[in-house]
């Protein structure tokens, strides 16, 4: 099957050229995307340099950990399992010897669940290692690491808003002033089954 990575600068360029807003651009990606660095895909891409000069506020984009030389994988518009690993038969291929042949699986439905498939180097979510076979519900903006790759899960609309507007999302305006905000449960992508 295979999920082909798309360079973020190309997504930005296509959205601008097509005069799309964030919602229109996100419809083509599906509900969720995985974002990360894949150097072989962008090393010679002239769009990265060209578009970095016209993004409305490139520093704000970098401030939330998103760079135009990153790639994203669309998790599609339908539910299903996405196998992740080094082997070319995986849906999402990460070409690095530190990534197992069949490293992990993303179960995509109303929520996105990451499962470690007994990988040799481990699967990490927000700095915590998953046990072999363990599943973890991913929340918006969670990072997960496989081998040498650090990836982030984002709603596609949020990604396109960041690219087109280059303003970081702020959950509570008091965070900008250093005032502690109210404590609340983190928002998960979709509903967690009881």
Sheet of 104-108, strands arranged across? 92-93, 80-85, 104-108, 112-116, 135-138
DSSP 76: B
At residue 110 the predicted structure's pLDDT band, cuts being 50, 70 and 90, is confident
Predicted confidence (pLDDT) per residue in 51-61, tens digit? 455 555 666 66
Rounded to whole angstroms, the Cα distance separating 15 from 11 reads: 6
pLDDT of residue 43: 45
Place of tokens 């005032």: 179
What does the pLDDT look like over 32-90, one tens digit per residue?
888 887 765 544 455 544 445 555 566 666 666 777 777 888 887 667 899 999 998 99
Q: Which residue has the higher pLDDT, 15 or 172?
A: 15
Per-residue confidence (pLDDT) for residue 69, from 0 to 100: 73
Please tell me the pTM assigned to this model: 0.72
pLDDT tier, 166 (very low <50, low <70, confident <90, very high otherwise): low
Task: Find where tokens 């669940």 sit.
Answer: 113
């Amino acid at each position: 099957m295979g999920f082909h990575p798309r360079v973020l600068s190309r997504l930005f360029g296509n959205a601008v050229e097509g005069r799309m807003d964030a919602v229109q651009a996100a419809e083509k990606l599906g509900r969720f995307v995985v974002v990360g660095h894949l150097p072989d895909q962008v090393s010679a891409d002239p769009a990265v340099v060209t578009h970095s000069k016209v993004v409305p506020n490139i520093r704000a984009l970098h401030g939330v950990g998103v760079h135009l030389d990153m790639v994203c994988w669309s998790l599609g518009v339908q539910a299903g399992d996405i196998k992740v690993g080094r082997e070319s038969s995986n849906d999402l291929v990460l070409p690095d010897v530190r990534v197992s042949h069949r490293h992990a699986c993303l179960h995509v439905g109303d929520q996105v669940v990451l499962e470690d498939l007994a990988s040799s180097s481990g699967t990490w979510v927000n700095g915590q290692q998953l046990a072999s076979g363990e599943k973890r519900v991913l929340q918006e903006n969670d990072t997960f690491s496989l081998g040498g790759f650090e990836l982030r899960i984002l709603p596609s609309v949020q990604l396109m808003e960041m690219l087109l507007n280059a303003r970081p999302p702020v959950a509570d305006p008091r965070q900008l002033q250093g005032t502690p905000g109210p404590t609340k449960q983190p928002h998960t992508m979709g509903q967690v089954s009881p």
